[in-house]
Amino acid sequence: MCTTCGCGSNEVFIRGKRRAGNADAPVRFRPHAAEAGVKDGEATRIIKLEQDILARNNSVADQNRQLFSVHGVLALNLVSSPGSGKTTLLVRTLEALKGKFPLAVIEGDQQTDNDAERIRTTGVDAIQINTGKGCHLDAQMIERCLRQMSLPQRGMLFIENVGNLVCPATFDLGEAAKVVVLSVTEGEDKPLKYPDMFRAARLMLMNKCDLLPYLAFDVARAEEYARRVNPAIRIIRISATSGEGMAEWLAWLAAEQQACA
């Protein structure tokens, strides 16, 4: 939880086009943990703060979810470890979906707007959230982004979370589903090491499958571990490089969006 891991102790910046047309000026605000002022050793106080933080977050998440529902938007929370290839996969996904659905992206990173710039090269609008020391996005950050952007009516909003398999599992953003990306360059035991994330996800994309011939990665074991944690999780083996699994992923997205429309 952010009251114990120290995230959010500095300012968060949201960079993107405002409705008024100012594309460069960041929006600045203090995140929840900075407002808390927790002192070390106050265990009871920490638990209460965690409960309060999640209650406030979930309230805003419900508002975000209602807004998505009114506009028929499929909002997905993409989560993974750093280096899983989710930005590359997202770029490939956007290129495949352009012209078929309205699209928008919210990018979350501790620093830089590199990923948002990569997204914009596809022609899709992207807003960057820089969390500083923060290790996850929360519902309030998303709500502030939604004030600045035009929602993709009856389309898809992809929220690429900060690379982290811990805190993002706990924070609801108002999304329809969490999609966890597990790269085959990681250990197949990641679902057992980070069970909360895989338990919270509805879909697991096993990414970089084009590299399997060169790795000692046990696909069956990784899938078994994921289903041990979450028996209902769906798994798609995928590669943004070779295109393996892209058709199945795109079909899943289309079906999910239709259910939101």
110-142 pLDDT, tens digit per residue, is 999 999 999 999 999 999 999 998 899 999 999
Q: Which residues contact 77 (CB under 8 A, 6 or more apart)?
A: 159, 161, 168, 173, 175, 177, 178, 179
Report pTM: 0.85
Question: Are 79 and 169 contacting, i.e. CB atoms less than 8 angstroms apart?
Answer: yes
Question: Are 29 and 144 contacting, i.e. CB atoms less than 8 angstroms apart?
Answer: yes
**Cα–Cα separations (whole angstroms), residue 94 to 18, 169, 221:** 22, 24, 30
Per-residue three-class SS string for 206-260: EECHHHHHHCCCCHHHHHHHHHHHCCCCEEEECCCCCCCCHHHHHHHHHHHHHHH
- Token pair, residue 56, equals 């406030």
- Token pair, residue 165, equals 């398999």
What is the rounded distance in angstroms from the CA atom of residue 58 to the CA atom of residue 75? 16
Pairing of strands 234-237, 125-130: unpaired
pLDDT in tens, the chain (261 residues): 455 455 654 556 676 654 444 445 554 444 444 444 445 555 555 455 566 788 999 999 999 999 999 999 999 999 999 999 999 999 999 999 999 999 999 999 999 999 999 999 999 999 999 999 889 999 999 999 999 999 999 999 999 999 999 999 999 999 999 999 999 999 999 999 999 999 999 999 999 999 999 999 999 999 999 999 999 999 999 999 999 999 999 999 999 999 997
Say how many domains are in the chain.
1
What are the φ and ψ backbone dihedral angles of 75, each rounded to 5 degrees? -105, 125
Instruction: List the CATH number of the domain containing 82.
Output: 3.40.50.300
- The boundaries of the domain holding residue 196 are 2-260
